């Protein structure tokens, strides 16, 4: 994150605040976020896409994907930097309301929205509800018309472009829970795809105002090609629907998924480069179709918040094992080498991504410098599972010892958001650093928090 440096003594500091001061004040594990960096990245995304699309549709609406990390402070920064907010549950809507974000700047996602969530979105006058299925379209139409209103909606389509992390494939199956399929006859109604059936239904349904189409092709994507191809497919479909049903859809959302570097092998492209590549395809496709470009919007989460944050852990137990490069049998001629296990005071409860996705992270000794030889290490958590790995392979100085602090960068997205209380660990707090001051934006849990919802023997 920006503002992260080493002091003259070799200790990691952010905006001049050392990690030992952070530990002293807030404890560990701790998520440490640079507010400055968050704002710069949020504004940077908005500016890059605005510039690339200026001549096409006057700019882009950027909806920060709250699922990656959300709290009231972050929702406010997002609004202050000129972005909007993408939510996907009643809980996220509640955070947005508490932050004072006007409904017109919000979207609501989800493949299984409850009636309560739909009503709440209508109460808050949410700018767009992204509809995931025909079933849901009918439910929203019924609820909104019952209230004498029209819900502003987008239809989430599956364009057959599926990104698998750094790659994408253009002929993927439609066998997944999200979205309306654009492929052939999926419903039994002669020749109509689910996507077209939804457009037809949305056009005629009372209580529905169809703003446009939406897609989200995946997450942690580095190359612009997948986004561009999806845009092309959606624009072609939009042109066909506008002609056939005599409508105009004023907006088009191309989702999120822009990747970040977790380790040096990751090489994402700058936002401006991706924006330019997407804009070129939108520009050319609209010209080819003879169609006025819709207002484009996007929903980045990870690319804004991911790299703004590191997790601070304290080292506890250490042990070294000898790893056999072969079949583990003695005398098989294979070399053995040492691997040191460095246990920290958190783990899969504050970052389940290594367990869930085999995600790679890095780690550095943060509380001091060291001139010792680097040693192959595995940073592990304190949970009762052997898969509880924080960083699979990292070289740390040979003298790392109990009481040292480690920093794991790149933990801003989908770490705190996915955290749990496994093994009755308290979830860490989140500290925001700006202009040389650190303040808590999410309080860490206490043992009392953990016991609060347990009804106790008296009630059993
Ligand atoms: N829009 C929609 C409709 C989404 O489903 C998502 C993420 C985003 C936007 C934001 O995607 P981003 O720009 O952050 O990649 N837990 C996984 C990632 C799940 C992404 C879910 N949807 C992980 O930790 O890698």
pLDDT of residue 328: 60
Whole-number Å distance, alpha carbon 314 to ligand 1 midpoint, is 30
Among candidates 459, 432, 428, 456, which has minimal Cα distance to 444?
Answer: 428
Q: How many angstroms does the Cα of residue 356 sit away from the middle of ligand 1?
A: 14
- Which residue in 342, 326, 336 sits closest to 408, CA to CA? 342
Is the beta carbon of 414 within 6 A of some atom in ligand 1? yes
Higher pLDDT, 92 or 332: 92
Name the more confident of 165 and 429.
429
**β-pairing, 336-344 with 309-324?**
antiparallel
Give the model's pLDDT for residue 69. 98
84 is known to lie in a ligand binding site = no
Which of 76-85, 279-288, 450-459 is the least confident region? 450-459
Q: How confident is the model at residue 161 (pLDDT cuts 50, 70, 90)?
A: confident
Ordered structural domains, the chain, with CATH: 4-34+307-452 (2.40.37.10), 59-300 (3.20.20.10)
pLDDT value for 146 = 98
Residue ID of nearest Cα to ligand 1 atom 6: 256
Residues 6+ apart with CB under 8 A from 306: 68, 260, 410, 411, 412, 413
State yes or no: is 384 an active-site residue. yes
pLDDT digits (tens, 9 = 90+) for 213-242: 999 999 999 999 999 999 999 999 999 999
- Nearest ligand 1 atom to the CA of 357 is 25
Q: How confident is the model at residue 187 (pLDDT cuts 50, 70, 90)?
A: low
CA distance 233 to 231: 5
The CB of 268 under 6 Å from ligand 1? The reply is: no
In this structure, of 59-63, 74-78, 263-267, the range with the lowest mean pLDDT score is 263-267
Q: Distance of CA 362 to CAs 232, 340, 350, 353, Å?
A: 37, 15, 15, 13
State residue 335's pLDDT score: 79
Please give the distance, rounded to the nearest whole angstrom, from the Cα atom of residue 257 to the centre of ligand 1: 6
Identify the bridge partners of residue 434 per DSSP, sorted by sequence position.
Answer: 437
Q: Measure CA 313 to chain center.
A: 22
Q: What is the mean pLDDT of the chain?
A: 94
339: alpha, beta or left? (left if phi > 0; alpha if psi -120 to 50): beta
What number is the ipTM of this complex? 0.99
pTM confidence score: 0.96
Whether the CB of 65 sits within 6 Å of ligand 1: yes
For the segment 18-37, the average pLDDT, to the nearest whole number, is: 98
**Rounded CA separation 147/237 (Å):** 31
Ligand 1: nearest atom to the Cα of 303: 13
At 304-347, the pLDDT tens digits run 999 999 999 999 999 999 988 776 666 666 778 899 999 999 99
User: Of residues 57, 71, 286, 384, which has the active-site annotation?
Assistant: 384
pLDDT of res. 456: 87
**What average pLDDT does this structure show over 3-21?**
96
What pLDDT sits at residue 166?
Answer: 64
The per-residue pLDDT for 458 is 74
Question: How much distance in Å is there from the Cα of 163 to the middle of ligand 1?
Answer: 12
Q: Is the pLDDT of residue 371 over 70?
A: yes
Token look-up 């703003």 returns 211
DSSP 387-407: T-EEEEEEEEETT--TT-EEE
258 is in an annotated binding site: no
SS3 labels along 268-297: CCCHHHHHHHHHHHHHHHHHHHCCCCCEEE
Question: Residue 355's pLDDT band (boundaries 50, 70, 90)?
Answer: very high
Average pLDDT over residues 186-191: 60
456 is in an annotated binding site: no
- Which pLDDT band holds residue 389 (cuts at 50, 70, 90)? very high
Asked which of 119-128, 216-225, 426-435 is least confident by mean pLDDT, the reply is 216-225
């Amino acid at each position: 994150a920006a503002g992260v440096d080493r002091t003259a003594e070799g200790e990691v500091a952010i905006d001049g605040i050392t990690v030992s001061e952070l530990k002293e004040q807030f404890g560990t594990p701790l998520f440490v976020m640079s507010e400055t960096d968050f704002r710069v990245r949020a504004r940077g995304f908005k500016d890059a896409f605005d510039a690339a699309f200026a001549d096409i549709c006057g700019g882009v609406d950027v909806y920060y994907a709250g699922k990656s990390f959300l709290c009231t402070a972050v929702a406010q920064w997002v609004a202050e930097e000129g972005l909007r907010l993408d939510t996907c549950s009643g809980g996220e809507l509640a955070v947005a309301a508490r932050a004072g974000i006007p409904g017109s700047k919000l979207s609501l996602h989800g493949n299984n929205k409850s009636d309560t969530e739909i009503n709440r979105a209508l109460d808050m006058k949410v700018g767009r509800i992204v509809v995931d299925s025909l079933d849901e379209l009918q439910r929203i139409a019924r609820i909104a018309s019952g209230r004498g209103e029209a819900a502003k909606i987008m239809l989430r389509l599956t364009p057959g472009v599926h990104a698998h992390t750094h790659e994408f494939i253009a002929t993927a199956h439609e066998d997944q829970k999200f979205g309306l399929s654009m492929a052939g006859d999926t419903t039994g109604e002669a020749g109509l795809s689910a996507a077209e059936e939804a457009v037809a239904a949305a056009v005629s349904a009372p209580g529905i105002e169809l703003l446009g189409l939406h897609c989200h092709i995946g997450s942690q994507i580095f190359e612009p090609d997948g986004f561009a191809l999806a845009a092309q497919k959606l624009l072609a479909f939009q042109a066909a629907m506008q002609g056939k049903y005599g409508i105009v859809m004023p907006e088009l959302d191309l989702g999120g998924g822009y990747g970040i570097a977790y380790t040096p092998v990751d090489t994402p492209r700058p936002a401006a480069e991706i924006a330019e590549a997407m804009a070129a395809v939108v520009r050319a496709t609209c010209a080819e179709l003879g169609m006025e470009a819709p207002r484009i919007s996007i929903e980045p989460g990870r690319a804004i918040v991911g790299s703004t944050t590191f997790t601070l852990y304290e080292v506890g137990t250490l042990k070294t094992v000898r790893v056999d490069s072969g079949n583990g049998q003695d005398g098989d001629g294979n070399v053995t080498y040492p691997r040191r296990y460095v246990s920290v005071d958190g783990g899969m409860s504050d970052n389940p991504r290594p367990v869930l996705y085999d995600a790679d992270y890095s780690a550095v000794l943060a509380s001091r410098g060291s001139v010792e030889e680097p040693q192959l290490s595995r940073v592990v958590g304190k949970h009762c599972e052997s898969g509880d790995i924080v960083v699979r392979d990292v070289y740390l100085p040979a003298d790392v010892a109990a009481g040292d602090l480690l920093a794991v960068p790149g933990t801003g997205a989908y770490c705190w958001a996915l955290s749990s209380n496994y093994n009755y660990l308290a979830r860490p707090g989140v500290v925001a650093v700006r202009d040389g001051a650190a303040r808590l934006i999410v309080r860490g849990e206490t043992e009392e928090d953990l016991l609060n919802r347990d009804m106790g023997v008296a009630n059993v």
